[in-house]
Amino acid sequence: MYSKLPISIIVPVLNEGSNITLFLQTLERAIKIKHEIIIVYDFDQDDTVPVAKKLQHKFSNIRLIKNNLGRGLINACKTGFKKAKGNFIVVMPGDLADDPKAINNMYKLAKQGYDIVCGTRYSKGGKQLGGGFMKTVLSRIAGLTTPVLLGIPTSDLTNGFKLYRNSLLDKIGIESQGGWEFAMEILIKAHFMGFKITETPSTWKERSSGKSKFKLYKWLPRYIYWYGWGITQRLIRS
């Protein structure tokens, strides 16, 4: 049973002290829906923690939670999922990469009955500003082929910026052990379980401060695994 709070925004962090203030200020200006912000960190020495604690005096909807499931992005997100009070959940990094204004339209679509709303850089109105060449090419290929090979109505399969119905997450066992591929896993599994999926344009821009935590070559085999798993499921069911 979830509260009447519409949205929980889960922000897994790793030393985002230089970004988190502007991130939270931007988030609060952009979102027009009642929400909570769950900042999940792995260790007490994370430089995000003291900054976020100070910001809690200004923003009463911030919750600062330590990940006790084991270090890493996926466990931070699982911790956030367990603690979220909202009927819908959005996961986004605290590096200002994703434009939070898209959350307003994500929620609007979710209220129309969709269980997952994918932010997409590649549909009309979406943008990608910066980013590595190889990462962009691979994500674009995945997006172009997803509707055809997997039958999933999104042009940006690999984008981690998604809104989920909270109750959906109770029904999907997350097997991913690495990074942002868990969002791809959830989306593909949800599709074959019959949940309703749509997308909305979003803007992604490369971070201007701090170091990217995205590990393309380490995580790529896991993206390929879930993409192949999805194709296999479609072939089995056809």
Residue pair 129/206 in contact by the 8 Å Cβ criterion: yes
Residue 127, number of CB atoms within 10 A of its CB? 12
Give the pLDDT score at 1. Answer: 47
Residue with tokens 């701090």: 210
Mean pLDDT, range 110-131, rounded to an integer:
92
141-184 residue pLDDT tens: 888 899 999 999 999 999 999 999 999 999 999 999 878 899 99
Domains of the chain, CATH where assigned: 7-237 (3.90.550.10)
pTM of the model: 0.91
Other Cβ atoms closer than 10 A to 174: 15
φ/ψ of 107, rounded to 5, equals -65, -40
214 three-state secondary structure? coil
Does 85 or 96 have the greater pLDDT score? 85
**Would the pLDDT of 208 be above 90?**
no
Cβ neighbours for 211, distance < 8 A, ≥ 6 positions apart: none
Give the angle 176-226-72 at the CA atoms, nearest 5°: 25
Measured in Å, how far apart are the chain's first and last C-alpha atoms? 36
- Cα(41)–Cα(77) distance, integer angstroms: 10
